[in-house]
Every structure is written in structure tokens, then in C-alpha cells.
Structure 1
């Protein structure tokens, strides 16, 4: 495929990353002035441990970045991952140690609160390090910028001066959005108390915009005059966001649906400052298994570590790619399907025409860090099949056992020859240990189900040990169709097999399972089920 063919196909693609990238193409029809790189930004509030909602914003923004590069034939871009670690800690998260330490420092900037984990310079530094660790693990190309570094080193002083210069106009944007009581104490600028180090929510008086001098009353009633420069103040959230867009010249930033109003107000403020609101996507929020919004402080969503324990890196990225404007639940139960769907899309990619490739999630995911799919990229067994296998093996199943069974199905069955399958085996064993084995219950077969199982056992005894999965599937299929066994539908027969042999309400193609598990071992399962059914 030539670069021109790719650009042409990308410009008419309906895939959402290309639709977003088109906004930037319209913003800069001739490219950004002076050949400057288009700046993408993601924001992170380190008041709690990073979660998948944080990670997905970096991933999705990177997908748009790569789409824009494809649309333009390689126009320069940058991605800034910004941490708002000058924000004051409002409440103690539920999922961190040493809560008393944080309680004693409520209201102070996150970067000036001791680390409750005892490993970093501050609470913010700890959480920032966790975020960067995960982003680095996935190989994202980004520049990390923290608010505390910019505020403290004077990097935002010029923009802060402009905020003070346009103080009244900014108040004109914000005050109509506030309740009457809040209007009395609202200020776009939040000074930091020289006495307590707390970020103050108090009215201020601008004395000199050029030097950043303001006047306010401290918590002890003392009148204070000090500059906002050098980390002695920060801005209210919506004003801070606008100031950041202005100071860093941000061209693209997406956000969750809960920030819709913030986008509107911050967009007005950045124009007052003389900047331009960035392009962006407003995405739907993730929900937990109870349909409730995920919260960093509650810790009620899946962490990145949890997903990567029970799934794979590719499956996480795949799940986050799909339908960003639709709300999706995040819990362990969604992982197996995501693992298998990723590999289905990847297997299809190489044989698709260019327009279909650009609509394939894997095309985009492989380009986040410069990879490409090869012809026929696939894995030899599904994750669902592995879960059924380890479920039969029990809670104490080992990787060595699984690979020995995979030898019935896969050439060179070892993790060195099949690294992607090795990751799936690891995840399947963890899922089985924590979720499947504790809940599996094999029921006794009914009389007609027992007769069908005896027939299946007889036919399995008659075929060779090397019978193909398709041959075995046909045997299962024909027994289910035989009216002598009284199944109303084939679905009833398959359900009986899953519940009596595997201890699950759902399962794989039985031919594939028998080929993987082995005919002799499957006959032992049948014998156990018939023994339970015996009077």
C-alpha cells in the first residue's frame, strides 16, 4: 500500500480516530504555522491511584495522534501527559494506607503532602510514578509534565499574569455558573496560605498583574499580600484547564462526559486569554459491574494491574478502543470476550481491503507504538477454550499441565514458541484460580442426558486418538440431533455437556475441547458424570 493510497482511504474512513483527526486537519489545513508539531494533551488528577479511565485517555489520544499522522503523511506531533498535582487534596481516598497522614494534610497541594506509601517525595510523586510506569509498559510516546514543576519554576508565570489582567472578564464567565452563596467566595486564583500551606478558597484583590501581586485574608484573619508566581498560588479547575491550553498551545484534548460543562467554560476563558480552545472528543464514562461510575477514591473499578492479571495487554487496548461515546462496564467478566475478539479482528486484518483495515481496531492499536500486523497473525486456541480447560483441571492447575494438553492441539507447544498464547495461559490460570474454580459445580445428568453421554463415550472409544476437532464436533452434533435422546434443540444437548462435564453454563465447541483435552481424558469426565448419575 502506498502512502498516497493510505491518505486517500484515511480521509474517507468512518473509524472514530480518523473522524477525530479530521478536526485537526480542518484546524490546520496547511499544517501548524511554522511547521510546529500539533500538541495533544491528556490530563490526570493524582488524588488517587491511576485506574483504567486514566490509561484509556492516553491510549485513545494516541490513536487520534497516529490517525492524524496517517492523514497528513507524517506531520509532526507531540503528546503531553499532564498531572494536576498542585490541586489541593479534598478527601482521603479509600484505597491507600496511612489515612491519618493524608487526613492531617487535607487541603494542601498533592505534591506537598508526604507519601503514605513511604516510597516517594510526595503523594503526587508516588501516583505520578505509577502512571508513568504503566504508560511506559505499553510503550507510549509521551512527555510527562507536572503542574507543580511548572508553577514552582515559573513556567506558568506569564499565563498567570494574563489571568490577572483579564480577571474581571474571567469572573464574568464563571459567576453565572455558580450558586449565589458560592459567588461570594469564588476566585479564579487560589492562593496558598503562607502559614498553613493549604490551598485557599477565598476572594482576592488583584494589585499588580505584571508582578502577580494579590491581596487576600488568610485563615487566621491576617491580611496577606503576595505574588501568585513561583508556586504561591494555583488556579481554579476550569480556569487552570484554560490557562494550560493557552500556555502550552494545546491543539487536542479529550475528556469524559462529566466534564462537558467544564469544556464550555474553559473554552470561553482560553479565548479571553488570547488562545484557542483545542479540538477534542467527549467520551462516555466507564461503569463498574453495578452500573455505577468508577471513582479513583472509591477504587470500585478495575485497576490496570487487575486487567493485566486476568487478561492481556492487547485485550485491554482493544476494549478501550471500541465505541468511546458509549458507556461500558469494567469488570473481570468482560475480559475473556475482549481477549478473543482482539484475536478475531487481528486474524482478519491482513486479508482485508484497505478501507476495511482502517475500520479494524487492530490496525489502529498496532500503530500506537509503530508495530504492524503480519499475514495470518493468530493464536491456535481461543481464550474461552483455555478457560474451559483450566476449569476442568481444577484450582491447582499449573502452566506445565496446560501446555501438556496444548500439545494435543498445537505444534511446538511451549511459551517460547507461542509467547502470545503463553500470556493467555497465564491469564487463564489466574482467572480460574480466583473466579472459576471456586464457583464450578457439575450437576448430575438426567436419564436422557446420561444415555446421550454413553453414546458419546462409545463413539469416542471408536475413533483414533488423533481425530480432528471437526470429526469430534460432528460426532457430538449427530448425537444431539438423534431424536432417541429427547433433546428439543441442539442447544439443550450442548448445555447438558457444559453443565455435566465442565461445570459451567456456557462452553466451547466441544470438538475443539475434546481435541485439546484429549479423547481419553474426556472419556474420564464422561465416566465421572455417569457415576454421579447412577442410582
Structure 2
């Protein structure tokens, strides 16, 4: 039973998952008729492998699903991950083997093309669908998998197809004005499957008998064919297919990227013609690369989910995806460390926040995606940024055990078994430093005034016990920076000098925390090396 106070607070929350969920409350003020579950859907095109865009769409939809379960007081829900595997293969993907095999089967439904990976699957689509399901299972998503081919071939879509044939001309009236003249001449809402070649044909179609599902068209060799459109002998054009799916499955919510805005408009009009209702949904902005350009699988300018999880965590990826879905965001290696630390900052705040702030906390939502309700206030003993700075000064040959030794000097009775999240981050910090930080580190020589300030810092550290608290060290560093003797225009200039001369970076951690972690004697050695330059 969901607490009434939580329901009331969630219904007025400004957090976007709750605002999206309230669209469904307005759609069904008394719940879906007959007590049926509200159906959430995500779509996947299995001509390629699952990627970070697949993850973000399932995650964001799940966030709305969980939010709806709260604002509705516990109404039942379902999430369908739909694979459009009846689609004809239009081009050979770059990132799969056996290009010749795929080229020989261009145009055929993806479930009727042999598996180019030779991995024992029935078809190319069956292989990629298995990858999708494994991918979603890896992250613990609660979903039901639905295959377009299964729906078409089994006849599950037959009634909806008859409905499309019955309203064929009305659908043409919607679609034709949106097409170029050349495309209009061959456009058909229904794409027949050639009885000869098995290719999904892009040819004009004449509806002979809507109730029986009979259509007429010209095959690739010019032969006029009259056959059924039912039972997997045809599929629908994309925007019509999307509308038919909404109608046939009873989809209530589906989000999509900005590039499908026009599809949402036309499919929404078509589903209304079919007698259905367009789902609620969010149109989200697309990710950009480091240069601000749209990410393209063919260009390879994006960031894969495997790369993110090599250098960051699943939670940090979820956090980055949660934030501001209607704003374009850069997706590149450089955003990972900040995302890791910000996730933990938000997670640590949860227990102290009043309810309305908690409901706007990204970490609170992410912890609930897969039914997890514990550990809301967990914290990390050190930040990921501080870990990266430690690994940076230890060098590319630093080991996991060596890092834990330093952490043990900084945090009393630290046991990796009691800090699994930190344990995972140590390996990621080592990898991130090795691949991205170490190759760019350049420790510059200090300017004369900076050298004098470093000497003052060294003198202070010479008198400091090894167990001097981080805050005490930080205060002493502040005092040196504020001393007019060293002529820093601002404290920022002093800290930049510390970062650039000692750490080799223009940005860095709280130096008091770093010194407490790295050790007083080791820090004095860094200062000596800087002064020697």
C-alpha cells in the first residue's frame, strides 16, 4: 500500500517522471477500464546491436512507469520491449560479420535472414533480439519482450491489418501530403512480401477485399500478384506500423527521440483513424558528441555503453540520462567522472531531504527503477575525482592493492568488502587514468611567486603530523593563498597553481583531502619535484 502523503506529494512534484506520469492519471482518472494494466512500450530496431540509446529509452520509460505506480496509488502496469524485426534489411551494417551473406538477403524481413554471426540462432534478428534481452536483463529491467515477426506471422496483428486495409484511403490521405512527389508514386501503407523472393516490397498496392485481407500488387519481375496481406505476408510502412501497434497492443505510453517528432504526429493521426488513441509520451533531445555534433552509429562518434561501464558505473550512467531529457547533452568520456560524483552527492542527500525535495532527487528515482528501496543514504568514503587524482600521481603502473593501501591510511578500518561501490570505482579510476588522464598530464614548473608559496606549504607540512585532519590542512592551504606575500590575485589562482604544478591538471580536488589521502611525506616529495623543475 502506498502512503497517501507520498501520493499527494508525487502528484504535485516538478520532477519530470512524475509530470509524465500525471498525463496518464489524466488519461485514466479512475484507472484503465476493467482494471487492465497501463501499457508502457519501448521500440528497438534489430538491424543493429543494442546501444546506449536503447538503454536510455528503457530506463527513462521505467522511471515514468515507477512514478505512475506511485501517483496512481499502485495501479497495475506492464512494460513491453518491442522489436521491429519484421522490417526489411535496407543496408548492410558496418559492425557485423559476413557482409556478403547480408547483402544477398537485402530487403528480406530480419527474421528471415540467416545469422551472420553463425552463433546458432534461427536468424539475424533472433541473434540481435537475444542480445537485446541479455542487455536489458543485465540491468535488471522488468519488461516483456514482443517480436513484430511473431505478431505478424501468428496472425495476432491480422485484425489490426484488416482495419488498416478498411481505412486504406484515409491513411493515404494523411500520408501522401507529407511525401515528395517521387515517393508518392510508389507509396503504400502496406508492404507486401514477395511470394517469389521473400523481399518486403516498396510498391503500390490495391486493396481487393479488406475483410479477407486480399491485396493486389506487381512483383519484382512484373508479375501481377493477388494474395493475402495477413499471416506474415506483408508488413506495414513505418508510421502506419507504429500506429497499428499502438492500436493492436493498447499502448498507453511511449517516448521517442526528437528525430521522430514527425512520425509521432502522423502516427497519432493514423491511430485515430483506426479507432484508437495516441499514447502519452515524451519527445526527448538527442545526445551530442564532444564537438556538439549529433551522434551517429555509422560515424562511430558516440560513446558505447561498454565504454561508459569501463570507466564509470551503471548508476552514474543512469544519473546522466535522468537529467533534463528535453535538453541536448554531450555524451563523451569527459562527462563520466562528474556524473559518478554527482550521483553519490545526490544519493547522500536523500535521508536529510524533506519529501518534496526527495521526490526531485535523481538518485531517489534511480534507486527505485528495479524495485530497490534500501540504502538511500549511502555515501562513498572518497570522491571519484579524488580517486582519479590519487591514481594520477601514483602513475600508470599503480595497482588496485596500492590504491587501497593509500585509502586505508586515509580512512580508519577501511575494508573493501564493506565498500563494494568504492571497490568497483578503484578499478574504473585505474582504467580512466591509464587511457585518458596519464597521456595528457604535464606538470609545469612554478612561477617565482608560486614557488615561494609552495615552499611555505612544504614548511607547513614539515611540521604537520601524518594524521593531520583534511580540514586542518585545507585551512592552512587557504591561509597561504590569502597571504599577500605571494601575490595571488585570487585563491583560485593559488589552487590552479597547485593543480598544475603538483598534479598536472588544470582542475583538481580539495587539496587538504588529497594530502590526507596521499600522505604528508609523499606530498612534500611532489613539491620538491615541482620546485626542481
Match of 1:97 in 2: 97
**Counterparts of 1:93-492 in structure 2 under 5 Å?**
93-119=93-119, 120-374=121-375, 376-492=377-493
Q: In the TM superposition, what whole-angstrom CA distance separates every residue of 1:421-448 from its partner, at most 9, and x where no partner exists?
A: 1121121111111111111111112222
Q: Distance in 1 between matches of 2:158 and 2:413?
A: 62
Q: Is 1:49 paired with 2:74?
A: no
C-alpha contact (below 8 Å) 1:95/1:299 kept by paired residues: no
Q: Distance in 1 between matches of 2:484 and 2:19?
A: 54
TM-aligned CA deviation for residue 128 of structure 1: 2.1
1:145 is paired with a residue whose SS is strand
1:261 is paired with a residue whose SS is helix
C-alpha contact (below 8 Å) 1:151/1:229 kept by paired residues: yes
TM-aligned CA deviation for residue 179 of structure 1: 1.1
Match of 1:69 in 2: 69
C-alpha contact (below 8 Å) 1:48/1:297 kept by paired residues: no
Q: Distance in 2 between matches of 1:18 and 1:376?
A: 22
Q: In the TM superposition, what whole-angstrom CA distance separates every residue of 1:314-364 from its partner, at most 9, and x where no partner exists?
A: 101111111111111111111111111111111111111111111111111
1:175 is paired with a residue whose SS is helix
Which segment is superposed worse, 447-456 or 100-109?
100-109
1:407 is paired with a residue whose SS is helix
Q: Distance in 1 between matches of 2:312 and 2:509?
A: 18
Q: 4+ residue stretches of structure 1 with deviation over 4 A?
A: none
Q: Distance in 2 between matches of 1:390 and 1:423?
A: 14
1:216 is paired with a residue whose SS is strand
Q: In the TM superposition, what whole-angstrom CA distance separates every residue of 1:1-23 from its partner, at most 9, and x where no partner exists?
A: 97110011111111111111111
Q: Is 1:512 paired with 2:513?
A: yes
Q: Distance in 2 between matches of 1:217 and 1:22?
A: 48
Q: Distance in 1 between matches of 2:272 and 2:451?
A: 75
C-alpha contact (below 8 Å) 1:50/1:296 kept by paired residues: no
C-alpha contact (below 8 Å) 1:48/1:296 kept by paired residues: no
1:114 is paired with a residue whose SS is coil
TM-aligned CA deviation for residue 373 of structure 1: 4.4
Which segment is superposed worse, 125-134 or 56-65?
125-134
Q: Distance in 2 between matches of 1:121 and 1:395?
A: 45
2:439 is paired with a residue whose SS is coil
Q: In the TM superposition, what whole-angstrom CA distance separates every residue of 1:199-229 from its partner, at most 9, and x where no partner exists?
A: 1100011122223221111111122222122
Gap regions ≥5 residues in structure 2 = none
- Alignment RMSD, CA only? 1.5
Q: Is 1:526 paired with 2:527?
A: yes
TM-aligned CA deviation for residue 86 of structure 1: 1.2
C-alpha contact (below 8 Å) 1:92/1:297 kept by paired residues: no
TM-aligned CA deviation for residue 278 of structure 1: 0.8
Q: Distance in 1 between matches of 2:124 and 2:206?
A: 32
TM-aligned CA deviation for residue 375 of structure 1: 6.0
C-alpha contact (below 8 Å) 1:31/1:75 kept by paired residues: yes
Which segment is superposed worse, 163-172 or 104-113?
104-113
TM-aligned CA deviation for residue 380 of structure 1: 0.9
2:188 is paired with a residue whose SS is coil
Q: Distance in 1 between matches of 2:59 and 2:70?
A: 17
1:408 is paired with a residue whose SS is helix
2:393 is paired with a residue whose SS is helix
Q: Assess, with a 3 A threshold, how the Cα gap between structure 1 residues 154 and 299 changes in structure 2: closer, same or farther.
A: farther
Q: Distance in 2 between matches of 1:19 and 1:490?
A: 43
Q: Distance in 2 between matches of 1:111 and 1:438?
A: 45
C-alpha contact (below 8 Å) 1:164/1:212 kept by paired residues: yes
1:437 is paired with a residue whose SS is helix
Q: Assess, with a 3 A threshold, how the Cα gap between structure 1 residues 396 and 115 changes in structure 2: closer, same or farther.
A: farther
Q: Assess, with a 3 A threshold, how the Cα gap between structure 1 residues 118 and 343 changes in structure 2: closer, same or farther.
A: same
Which segment is superposed worse, 88-97 or 390-399?
88-97
Q: What is the number of equivalent residue pairs in this alignment?
A: 532
1:97 is paired with a residue whose SS is coil
Q: Distance in 1 between matches of 2:492 and 2:283?
A: 42
Match of 2:4 in 1: 4
Q: Assess, with a 3 A threshold, how the Cα gap between structure 1 residues 278 and 2 changes in structure 2: closer, same or farther.
A: closer
2:278 is paired with a residue whose SS is coil
Gap regions ≥5 residues in structure 1 = none
TM-aligned CA deviation for residue 453 of structure 1: 1.5
Q: Distance in 2 between matches of 1:101 and 1:151?
A: 25
